[in-house]
Amino acid sequence: MAATLEQMLLAPDVQPRVVADCMALVEQELAAKSGVSGAAVKLAYKAVTAFAPGYYKETIEAMLPDMADKLQPFWADFQESGGGEFGDYLSKRSEEVGEAMLAVTDNMASVSQRAVIIKAYGAVRGGAGKHIQAALPALGAMIQKYAQP
């Protein structure tokens, strides 16, 4: 039986690199944002990263298992369909994948006890789907890098 995304991405020797790559991906996507929506996302990011040293990294680490779990059905279907580029596969299902990813961040926000984080998330939640969808090609490439058999 093939390993799950969670098993591959959270392996002790792999997980720290995946977290670092996730953080780099977020920063790369932020750098590409512009306009009012981009400014709101950048402001929310600044609020989260300035909130407490290490909080942003801890949040990525905490979300990674749920993200891997939500992406697993897409990964399994991608593998069954013959492969190719996982980022392309995710992009073709961008609305469905975006909703799956938002379910994870919505859950994190719903259990947070930190008002500044909840406020920052609330400020960007409405447009978050399009930002996630824009990042799917890069997210898929990153996952594929670690999840190759």
Q: What is the C-alpha separation between 21 and 39, in angstroms, rounded? A: 23
Answer yes or no: is 4 within a domain: no
Q: What is the C-alpha separation between 125 and 86, in angstroms, rounded? A: 25
> Average pLDDT, whole number, for the chain?
85
Q: Which residues contact 29 (CB under 8 A, 6 or more apart)?
A: 131, 134, 135, 138
Answer yes or no: is 1 within a domain: no
Q: What is the C-alpha separation between 80 and 62, in angstroms, rounded? A: 29
Per-residue pLDDT tens digits for 135-145 = 999 999 999 99
Q: What is the C-alpha separation between 14 and 138, in angstroms, rounded? A: 18
pLDDT of 38: 64
Q: What is the C-alpha separation between 29 and 146, in angstroms, rounded? A: 20
Answer yes or no: is 119 within a domain: yes
Q: Which residues contact 49 (CB under 8 A, 6 or more apart)?
A: 55, 56
**Cα dihedral sign for 126, 58, 27, 25?**
negative
Q: What is the dihedral of CA 108, 109, 112, 117, to 10 degrees?
A: 120
Answer yes or no: is 5 within a domain: no
Answer yes or no: is 60 within a domain: yes
What's the whole-model pTM score?
0.83
Answer yes or no: is 113 within a domain: yes
Low-confidence ranges of the chain (pLDDT < 50): none
State the total domains in the chain: 1
**Hey, what are 20's tokens?**
């670092």
